[in-house]
Amino acid sequence: MTSYNQPPLQYYANVPMPGRRPISITTLAILGIIFGAITTIAMPFSLFGPHSPGASKDPVDQAMRESSGAMVVTNFSTIMNGVLGVALLIGSIGALSVKPWARRLINIYAITSIIAVVIWLILHYIYVAPAIALVASKLAPAEAQIINIGMNIAVIVGALLSTGMPILDLIFFNTEKAKTAFSRGKMWNGGGYPQQPGYPQQPGYPQQQGYPQQPPPGGYR
């Protein structure tokens, strides 16, 4: 009888089925659809709101509108958030169906988002912070301190919120389970047992040919 080098049973118990979506991917995909949709819808209002007749009369907002550098940074941030929101929305929808391209798009979104936040922080303290500091210098010391503290808190919170989702995506979309799920058969051979390095693909049972025909008593004549 032919013997096969069978992998241990524990191996099959720990291998995810092809295309099975991990719970972490499902959760992040749903959150991505929500955040991506909100960001995409909010982009036009954020971009054109400061220029509308009903724009805020707050001194800080007015100072930012009067500073060309601050407005460039604000518009850059708004447009980037909108583009990344669309990418997150499309990638998250594809992730629910475990599409291989969706994982690549989510990774591009995550890396680009983190880079964009770093650039935004640099530009903020070069162009936006001086415009706000100029307004604060004309106020009472207590009010100026409140504005400066509030600005720094807003920047820190904004940076954390903007990088939180991308960091989670980079972590969970690049686990072994996620890679296997999105590969859709890359680790599998025709839907049978997964190919394990060191173990040959297991064939099915050999076809039974039956017993050979017995010669009649006395042999053939």
Give me the pLDDT at residue 88, please.
Answer: 96
pLDDT tens sequence across 164-204? 999 999 999 999 999 989 886 344 333 444 444 554 555 54
User: Residue 54 in 3-state DSSP?
Assistant: coil
Burial class of residue 182, CB neighbours in 10 A (0-12, 13-18, 19+): buried
Spell out the domain ranges in the chain.
15-49+61-183
For residue 127, the 8-state DSSP code is I
pLDDT band at 132 (very low <50, low <70, confident <90, very high): confident
- Which tokens in the block code for residue 62? 């007015």
CA distances from 152 to 50, 77, 110 (A): 21, 17, 24
Question: How far is C-alpha 181 from the chain's CA centre?
Answer: 15
pTM of the model: 0.68
Write the CB contacts of 112 (distance below 8 Å, at least 6 apart in sequence).
84, 87
Q: Residue 193 carries which DSSP code?
A: S
Share of the chain above pLDDT 90, in %: 36
The whole-angstrom separation of Cα 185 and Cα 181 is: 8
Give the residue with greater pLDDT, 134 vs 211: 134
Percent of the chain with pLDDT strictly greater than 70? 67
